[in-house]
Amino acid sequence: MKIRTYPVGSVPRPKYLVEALGAFAQQQINENELQQLFDKALKETIQRFEETGSPVITDGEQTKPSFATYPISGIKNLSPNGVVIPFADGHTRQLPTITSGPFHYTNYADAYLKKAKQLTTLPVKQAVISVSAISLLYPQEGIENYSQEQFINDLVNEAEADIRSCLNAGAHLVQVDFTEGRLALKLDPSKSLLRLFIDLNNKVLARFSEEERKKIGVHSCPGGDHDSTHSADISYNDLLPLLFELNAGNFFLEYAGENNKEDVLQCIKENLRPNQTVFIGVTDVLNPRIETPEEIRDVIIEASAKIPLQRLGTTDDCGFSPFADDVSTSRDTAFAKIKARVEGTKLAEEKLFK
């Protein structure tokens, strides 16, 4: 396709898998039984992805506990009392903190990528969590004999290894999930926290060549969990000028759910760098209504008036189920929206490249 279109990442898990995850947590089924259901869900998800006509797919994050916590799944030195992330509907998510060092990932994203690539001939995009999100695992009170500086050094090494392992395993593109970017502005309107996050991610990105960074992207959204967000009230005008300072080649931005799209497009136009491509969300993952391909076509055509076509692509606003227990969107709805995005992008191509 002349206009590139990619999914963000997750799709809702099948009901049997959600139930199995609960049963496993209660020790009602064993790890082997759970793994069989993981394999079944992964195979079904990739098949349904292929049926949408999507030129690039993901594994739907079927076997991740969440988009944010897969690197620490099973780690022993954790305390549950970490940063609390509040959502607009009143529910929260809470990160753990580490209790000792040194810090190392227990899982790397290339393991998910390799399994997916065995089941499809299509290019596979792989998501990884940002270094700034994992940096929140260090406790405010510190850790004896393991300084925050030592932790950050270990963390930067691990984040680099996570991205590089996916590139080496043949990822079509590696997406860094940076959903905490907008939240950082809500927690600290001075932008100091966001600047800290940007600098930390750039430390990782600096370890990759210019050619490698063309295959690395950054995803940003106001959070999406149980049909709610954590920072949708924060203006893109405050985020995007700093976001595009990240030394990545691609940006996947929530857009369909934005109220003032003209302002967002103008902000992208003013701040997007010459070597960067922006993929705008054309499906609202928090709205159960399925967009028509014609509606998506029109959104793309409107965006093309501000953003050069060679630097414009389409995506979904966010993952459809970033946390394994989020069943607020059905699988049928998610795949219908993905199919509409693909078809709408093709319609826009026919208009813009005729």
What domain range includes position 266?
Answer: 15-352
Instruction: Indicate whether 40 belongs to any domain.
Output: yes
The angle subtended at Cα 122 by Cα 47 and Cα 336, nearest 5°, is 45
Is 9 domain-assigned? no
173: left (phi over 0), alpha (psi -120 to 50) or beta: beta
CB environment 122-133: b (16+ within 10 A), e (fewer): bebbbbbbbbbb
Q: Is the dihedral of CA 204, 208, 214, 215 positive or negative?
A: negative
Q: Which residues of 282-320 are buried (b: 16+ CB within 10 A; e: fewer)?
A: bbbbbeeebbebebbbbbbeebbebbeeebbbbbbbbbb
85 touches 95 (CB < 8 A) = yes
- Confirm whether 139 is domain-assigned: yes
pTM of the model: 0.96
Model confidence over 222-231: pLDDT tens digits?
999 999 999 9
78 three-class SS: strand
Q: Give the helix, strand, coil percentages of the chain, each rounded to 5.
A: 45, 15, 45
Residues of the chain with pLDDT below 50 are none
Query: Does residue 8 form part of some domain?
Result: no
For residue 180, is it within any domain? yes
242 falls within a domain: yes
Report the pLDDT value the prediction gives residue 354, as an integer from 0 to 100. Answer: 77
> Cβ(208)–Cβ(249) under 8 Å?
no
Tokens representing residue 339 in the block: 């199919």
CATH of the domain at 56: 3.20.20.210
**Is 287 among the domain residues?**
yes
The span from the CA of 172 to the CA of 127, in Å, is: 11
Tokens matching residue 98: 């580490």
pLDDT at 74: 87
- The DSSP secondary-structure symbol of 326 reads -
Assigned domain for 130 exists: yes
Q: What does the pLDDT read at residue 124?
A: 98
Q: What is the domain count for the chain?
A: 1
